[in-house]
C-alpha cells in the first residue's frame, strides 16, 4: 500500500480540503498526517496516523519545533510527501533538497496590506520553483503565480451535506464561514430592508461563524434593531455538526468582499450550499462567477442594496427553484470526483 505523508500547520480536521483527501484516500493509501495541536477538540478518522506537534510557546519556539518534527519524519519517510503551503514551509525543501515533495497551495494572501500580500505571494512563487511538483486551488491562482506549466489544478470541492429537496415557500437564509473581514453586517442590513417591505412573509436568517469584532458588531445591530425574531447568530460550529443548518435552510449566502485579494479565492461554502440544494446568493468575485449560473444562484455586488434586491428576485422566482437542479449543476465538484480526477493522478504521476 502506497504511503502518503501530509505536512500541514492546521490541526487535522479543521481544513476541510485535506480532511476530505484523507477520508477518500484512507482505504487505498497508508496515511500519516503531521500537524499542530491548536484546538482543544481533536477530530479523528479511522486508519489515519496523526502526529500532533505542541502549539505551546511563542511563534519562533513553536515554529522551530514544528520544522524539527517535519524534518525528522520526512528523512525516514518513503512515499508521497504532500506539503500544504504556509509561509516558511519553503525551508523544508531547502533543508532536504534530495527528498521529493509536492507543494499544495490553497490560497493566495488575503492580507489587506498590499505590501504584505506582495511579499507573501512572492514567497509562494519562489516555493513553486523549488518544489518537485505543485498544485493550486484554481486556474486564477495558477495564472497569478506564473509557472503554469509546472502547477497542476487541484480544485476546491464539497460533499452533499443535505440530500433533501427544499421547499421555497418560506425564505430560510444561511451564512456559514468566518466573520473576519467578510462584511456580513451588509447582508444583515440588506435583510432588514427586505423584511420591512415583506412583513407578511415567513423569513429567517441563520449566521454561523465567528470573528470577535464582527460578531459583536452584528449582535449589537440585531439587538438595537429588534431583529432577534428574524436573525439567529450561532457563533462557531464544527463542520461535522452543520447538517441541521443545510437541512433546514434553502438559501445560501456566499458573501465575499469584492477586493483584489479575494477575487480568485474559491469559497468553500458556495460549493457546499449548491451541492446541498440551496439556491445561493453570491458576490461578483471571479471565483463565484465560475460556478454560479441561473439554475443555482444569483450574482450580486457586495452592497446591502444588492442583497435586498437578490431577495426580491428570489420571491419572484421561488416557484421555479428546484433543489435537484441546483445540486446537479455542480456534481463534478464533489470531493469524491475531485480526488478521483485530480488528486490521485497527481499522487501517481
Q: How many CA atoms lie within 13 A of 292 on its CB side?
A: 25
Per the CB < 8 A criterion, the answer to whether 95 and 19 are in contact is: no
Q: Where are the domains of the chain?
A: 3-157+335-348, 171-332
Residue 46 banded pLDDT, cuts 50, 70, 90: very high
Q: In this predicted model, what pLDDT tens digit does every residue of 172-185 receive, in sequence order?
A: 999 999 999 899 99
Q: In what order do the strands lie in the sheet with 48-54?
A: 48-54, 30-37, 3-7, 80-84, 102-105, 133-136, 151-153
C-alpha cell at 310: 437578490
The DSSP output letter for 131 is: S
pLDDT of the residue at 112: 85
pLDDT of the residue at 238: 84
pLDDT of the residue at 205: 98
* Maximum alpha-carbon separation in the chain: 68
pLDDT of the residue at 322: 96
Q: In this predicted model, what pLDDT tens digit does every residue of 227-270 receive, in sequence order?
A: 999 999 999 998 889 999 999 999 999 999 998 888 888 888 99
The DSSP output letter for 101 is: -
Q: In this predicted model, what pLDDT tens digit does every residue of 182-231 receive, in sequence order?
A: 999 999 999 999 999 998 899 999 999 999 899 999 999 999 999 999 99
Distance of alpha carbon 95 from the chain centroid: 31
What rounded mean pLDDT belongs to the chain? Answer: 93
Per the CB < 8 A criterion, the answer to whether 182 and 302 are in contact is: no
Q: Which CATH number fits domain 3-157+335-348: 3.60.150.10, 3.40.470.10, 3.40.50.2000, 3.50.50.60?
A: 3.40.50.2000
CA distance 123 to 103: 13
First to last CA, the chain: 16
pLDDT of the residue at 262: 85
Would you say residue 149 has pLDDT above 80? no
Q: If DSSP codes are grouped into helix, strand and coil, which group holds residue 31? A: strand
Beta carbons within 8 Å of 78's beta carbon, 6+ residues apart: 3
- Residue the block writes with cell 458556495: 270
Q: In this predicted model, what pLDDT tens digit does every residue of 108-131 receive, in sequence order?
A: 888 888 898 889 889 999 999 999
Q: Which CATH number fits domain 171-332: 3.40.190.10, 3.40.50.450, 3.40.50.620, 3.40.50.2000?
A: 3.40.50.2000
CA distance 242 to 175: 11
pLDDT of the residue at 173: 98
pLDDT of the residue at 233: 96
Residue ranges with strand state E in 85-212: 102-105, 133-136, 151-153, 171-176, 203-208
Give the phi and the psi of residue 139 in degrees, each rounded to 5. Answer: -65, -30
Q: In this predicted model, what pLDDT tens digit does every residue of 77-98 receive, in sequence order?
A: 999 999 999 988 999 999 999 9
pLDDT of the residue at 98: 95
pLDDT of the residue at 265: 83
Residue 41 banded pLDDT, cuts 50, 70, 90: confident
| Bridge partners (DSSP) listed for residue 80 | 4
CA distance 288 to 332: 16
Same topology for domains 3-157+335-348 and 171-332, yes or no?
A: yes
Q: How many CA atoms lie within 13 A of 150 on its CB side?
A: 17
pTM score, two decimals? Answer: 0.86
What percent of the chain shows pLDDT beyond 70? 100
Average pLDDT over residues 48-64: 94
pLDDT of the residue at 292: 95
Q: In this predicted model, what pLDDT tens digit does every residue of 258-311 receive, in sequence order?
A: 988 888 888 889 999 999 999 999 999 998 999 999 999 999 999 999 999 999
Per the CB < 8 A criterion, the answer to whether 49 and 35 are in contact is: no
CA distance 127 to 186: 37
Amino acid at each position: 500500500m502506497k504511503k502518503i505523508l501530509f505536512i500541514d500547520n492546521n490541526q487535522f480536521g479543521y481544513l476541510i480540503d485535506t480532511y476530505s483527501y484523507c477520508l477518500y484516500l484512507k482505504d487505498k493509501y497508508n496515511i500519516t498526517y503531521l500537524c499542530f495541536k491548536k484546538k482543544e477538540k481533536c477530530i479523528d478518522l479511522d486508519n489515519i496516523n496523526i502526529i500532533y506537534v505542541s502549539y505551546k510557546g511563542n511563534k519562533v519556539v513553536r515554529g522551530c519545533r514544528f520544522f524539527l518534527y517535519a524534518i525528522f519524519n520526512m528523512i525516514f519517510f518513503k512515499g508521497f510527501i504532500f506539503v500544504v503551503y504556509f509561509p516558511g514551509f519553503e525551508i523544508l525543501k531547502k533543508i532536504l533538497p534530495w527528498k521529493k515533495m509536492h507543494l499544495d497551495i490553497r490560497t493566495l494572501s488575503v492580507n489587506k496590506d498590499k505590501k504584505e500580500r506582495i511579499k507573501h505571494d512572492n514567497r509562494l512563487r519562489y516555493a513553486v520553483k523549488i518544489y518537485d511538483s505543485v498544485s493550486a486551488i484554481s486556474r486564477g491562482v495558477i495564472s497569478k503565480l506564473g509557472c503554469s506549466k509546472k502547477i497542476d489544478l487541484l480544485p476546491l470541492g464539497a460533499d452533499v451535506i443535505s440530500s433533501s429537496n427544499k421547499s421555497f415557500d418560506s425564505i430560510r437564509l444561511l451564512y456559514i464561514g468566518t466573520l473576519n473581514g467578510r462584511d456580513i453586517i451588509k447582508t444583515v442590513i440588506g435583510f432588514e430592508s427586505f423584511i420591512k417591505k415583506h412583513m407578511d412573509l415567513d423569513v429567517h436568517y441563520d449566521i454561523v461563524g465567528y470573528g470577535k469584532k464582527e460578531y459583536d458588531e452584528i449582535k449589537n445591530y440585531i439587538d438595537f434593531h429588534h431583529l432577534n425574531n428574524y436573525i439567529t447568530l450561532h457563533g462557531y460550529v464544527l463542520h461535522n455538526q452543520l447538517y441541521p443548518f443545510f437541512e433546514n435552510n434553502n438559501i445560501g449566502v456566499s458573501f465575499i468582499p469584492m477586493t483584489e485579494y479575494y477575487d480568485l479565492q474559491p469559497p468553500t461554502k458556495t460549493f457546499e450550499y449548491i451541492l446541498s440544494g440551496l439556491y445561493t446568493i453570491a458576490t461578483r468575485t471571479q471565483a463565484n462567477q465560475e460556478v454560479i449560473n441561473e439554475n443555482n444562484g444569483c450574482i450580486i455586488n457586495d452592497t446591502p442594496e444588492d442583497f435586498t434586491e437578490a431577495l426580491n428576485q428570489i420571491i419572484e422566482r421561488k416557484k421555479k427553484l428546484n433543489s435537484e437542479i441546483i445540486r446537479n449543476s455542480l456534481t463534478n465538484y464533489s470531493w469524491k470526483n475531485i480526488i478521483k480526477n485530480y488528486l490521485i493522478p497527481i499522487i501517481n504521476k
